[in-house]
C-alpha cells in the first residue's frame, strides 16, 4: 500500500503527468491539497473527477495538520493519492506528511511524482533560474500584523547579484482574529494577493526600513500571472509584464476620467449616507483598487 504525493502542474486538470494519472487511477482514496495553491479553473474538482475517474476529497490545512492519521490509516490498507498543485516538494509544506507516513505505527511507503511548478515556469520571464537566490513569500498584512523579514532576504539576494522570486499570499478557509477570539467557527471568503498589493507591501517595508535596494523608479521587476494557463471564455491565460515597480503599479492607477467619476460617486454617497465613516470610504476605495487590478491583471 502506498501514499502517493502527486504534482498536478500549474494550470488545470490536464497538466498531470501520465505517471501521475496512472497512480491516481490505482488509488482507493484521492485528496486534493487546497490551501497552498489553486488550479486556474473554476470547476477544478469536477473536471479532475471526470478525467481521473476517482472521487476527490478536498484537504484543507486542518485536514492535513489534524487528521493526517486518517489519511495514513487509509494508506495502510489501500493506495492513497495526495494531489498538490505544482510540484509536491517545491516547498517544505508537505514534508511533515512524509515524515509522519514513514514513522506511522505501520510505516507507509511514500512515492513522489513530480511536476512543473512556478520555480520552473519562471523561465518564461526570460530570466535564468540559476540567477535566483532565496525565494520569499509575501503574506497579507493586517492593521496589527506586518511581518517583513522577507525584505532582508531580498536584500541578501540583491547584494550578491541574484534575483528574488516573490510568491503572493493565498487565504483559503481562514478565520478572522475576531472570530477566533470569540470561539466562532466561521471562515472568511477566499483571498488571493494581487500584483499591486504585493508591490505596495514591498515598497512600504522598504520605506519603513530605509533600504536602497527596492526603489520604485529604479528596481526592475517582472510580474508573472497564471503561468501555464490558456485563454478561456471566462478566464484569461498567463500574463507577463515587466517594468519598474512604479510602472507596474501605474498599470492599475485610475485615469483622470475615472478619478473624476470616483469623486462624484463619493460625494453622492456621503450625501445619501451622512453617517458614513472614513472606514466606509476607505472600503469603497479598496473595492475600486481591487476591481482595477482584476480588470488589468485578471483573476489570480
How high is the pLDDT of residue 223?
98
Q: Is the dihedral of CA 81, 109, 87, 151 positive or negative?
A: positive
Give the domains, in start order, of the chain with CATH numbers. Answer: 3-116 (3.40.1010.10), 119-251 (3.30.950.10)
Query: What is the Cα gyration radius of the chain?
Result: 22
Question: Which are the contacts of 2, defined by CB distance < 8 A and separation ≥ 6?
Answer: 75, 79, 80, 108, 109, 110, 111
How high is the pLDDT of residue 93?
77
Three-state DSSP class for 53?
A: coil
User: What is the tens place of the pLDDT at every residue in 219-246?
Assistant: 999 999 999 998 877 778 999 999 999 9
Binding residue per annotation — 198? no
Low-confidence ranges of the chain (pLDDT < 70): none
Whether 164 contacts 132, CB under 8 Å: yes
How high is the pLDDT of residue 210?
97
Whether 13 contacts 54, CB under 8 Å: no
Binding residue per annotation — 177? no
pTM of the entire structure?
0.89
Binding residue per annotation — 118? yes
Distance CA 60, CA 130 (A): 33
Establish how many alpha carbons lie within 13 A of residue 60's alpha carbon, considering only the half-sphere containing its beta carbon: 8
How high is the pLDDT of residue 227?
93
Torsions phi, psi for 204 (to 5 deg): -65, -45
Binding residue per annotation — 16? no
Distance CA 100, CA 232 (A): 40
Q: Which triple of cell numbers denotes residue 93?
A: 509544506
Amino acid at each position: 500500500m502506498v501514499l502517493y504525493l502527486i504534482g498536478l502542474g500549474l494550470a488545470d486538470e490536464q497538466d498531470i503527468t501520465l505517471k501521475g494519472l496512472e497512480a491516481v487511477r490505482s488509488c482507493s482514496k484521492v485528496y486534493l491539497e487546497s490551501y497552498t495553491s489553486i488550479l486556474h479553473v473554476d470547476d477544478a474538482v469536477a473536471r479532475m473527477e471526470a478525467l481521473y475517474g476517482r472521487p476527490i476529497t478536498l484537504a484543507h490545512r486542518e485536514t492535513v495538520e489534524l487528521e493526517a492519521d486518517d489519511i495514513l490509516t487509509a494508506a495502510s490498507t489501500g493506495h492513497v493519492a495526495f494531489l498538490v498543485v505544482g510540484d509536491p516538494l517545491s516547498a517544505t509544506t508537505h514534508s511533515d506528511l512524509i515524515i509522519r507516513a514513514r514513522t506511522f505505527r505501520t510505516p507507509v511507503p511514500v512515492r513522489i511524482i513530480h511536476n512543473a511548478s512556478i520555480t520552473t515556469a519562471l523561465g518564461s520571464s526570460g530570466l535564468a533560474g540559476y540567477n535566483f537566490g532565496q525565494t520569499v513569500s509575501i503574506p497579507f498584512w493586517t492593521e496589527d500584523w506586518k511581518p517583513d523579514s522577507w525584505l532582508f532576504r531580498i536584500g541578501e539576494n540583491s547584494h550578491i547579484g541574484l534575483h528574488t522570486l516573490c510568491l503572493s499570499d493565498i487565504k483559503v478557509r481562514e478565520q478572522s482574529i475576531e472570530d477566533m477570539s470569540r470561539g466562532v467557527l466561521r471562515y472568511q471568503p477566499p483571498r488571493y494577493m494581487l500584483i499591486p498589493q504585493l508591490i505596495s507591501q514591498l515598497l512600504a517595508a522598504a520605506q519603513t526600513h530605509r533600504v536602497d535596494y527596492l526603489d520604485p523608479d529604479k528596481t526592475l521587476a517582472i510580474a508573472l500571472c497564471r503561468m501555464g494557463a490558456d485563454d478561456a471564455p471566462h478566464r484569461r491565460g498567463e500574463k507577463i509584464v515587466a517594468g519598474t515597480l512604479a510602472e507596474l503599479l501605474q498599470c492599475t492607477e485610475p485615469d483622470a476620467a475615472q478619478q473624476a467619476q470616483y469623486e462624484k460617486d463619493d460625494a453622492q454617497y456621503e450625501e445619501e449616507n451622512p453617517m458614513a465613516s472614513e472606514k466606509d470610504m476607505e472600503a469603497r476605495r479598496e473595492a475600486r483598487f481591487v476591481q482595477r487590478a482584476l480588470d488589468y491583471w485578471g483573476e489570480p
